[in-house]
Amino acid sequence: MRRFREPPARQRLKNTAVGCAISSGHGERSKAAPLQGACCTKWFQILFAYPAPPCHFPGLYQLVAMAYAIIRSGNKQYRVALGETVAVEKLSGQAGDQITFAEVVLHCDGDKVTVGAPLIDGAKVSGEVVEQFKDKKVIAFKYRRRKGYHRTVGHRRQLTRVKIGSIDL
């Protein structure tokens, strides 16, 4: 048998502190929130988590279709767009050199999508080498319990940062 009767929604709203919604949002206990439960989470979602409907902010929710391509370099695929900077496996060339990626797998320009089988003929993406650098160190630690065996091996990948200049079909 329940001894506690839940207050109506109007009284619940009056007793729920906004500090509760800001601090927790998940119904956790805190000093700022004497009342807990689903109402705190609900009001947090209504007040803070979701923006107003799109009609109140004209132009904010319009999607701008940018042209992008998926290229293959170093046996990996990268999604690139015009003006982006991407770090790929090490390529020959110094900073300032022009690089051309001839292996274009997919090109998308708004509603027009071109998919290669496996590559798009005549498509290329060109860019400029920004720098040659090393990635963060990756450590592989091998360990066998009770055997006195432990080995530490680490390496840093050699990468090239490229700024995409043009995407041509």
What digits encode the pLDDT tens for the residues 52-72?
445 555 555 555 567 899 999
Looking at the fold, whether 84 and 17 belong to one and the same domain comes out as: no
What pLDDT score does 34 carry?
A: 46
In tens, the pLDDT along 69-90 reads: 999 998 999 999 999 999 999 9
* 27 band by pLDDT with thresholds 50, 70 and 90: very low
The answer to whether residue 62 sits within a structural domain is no
Between 148 and 44, the higher pLDDT residue: 148
Question: Per-residue pLDDT averaged across 130-150, rounded?
Answer: 96
Looking at the fold, whether 72 and 49 belong to one and the same domain comes out as: no
Share of the chain above pLDDT 70, in %: 62
19 pLDDT exceeds 50? no
Contacts of 138 (CB under 8 A, 6+ apart): 154, 155, 156, 157
| Structural domain that includes position 77 | 68-168
Within the chain, residue ranges assigned H as helices are 9-15, 18-23, 38-44
Tokens representing 37 are: 């439960």
Tokens representing 86 are: 């991407």
Between 37 and 140, the higher pLDDT residue: 140
Looking at the fold, whether 13 and 72 belong to one and the same domain comes out as: no
Query: In the block, which residue shows the tokens 């409907």?
Result: 53
Contacts of 37 (CB under 8 A, 6+ apart): 27
As a whole number of angstroms, the distance between CA 117 and CA 115 comes to: 7
What pLDDT score does 56 carry?
A: 52
Torsions phi, psi for 11 (to 5 deg) = -70, -35
Q: Is this model's pTM higher than 0.85 or not?
A: no
The DSSP 8-state label assigned to residue 52 in this structure reads P
Torsions phi, psi for 47 (to 5 deg) = -80, -40
Question: Per-residue pLDDT averaged across 43-57, rounded?
Answer: 50
In tens, the pLDDT along 91-109 reads: 999 999 999 999 999 999 8
The answer to whether residue 2 sits within a structural domain is no
161 pLDDT exceeds 60? yes
Q: How many domains does the chain have?
A: 2
Looking at the fold, whether 73 and 144 belong to one and the same domain comes out as: yes
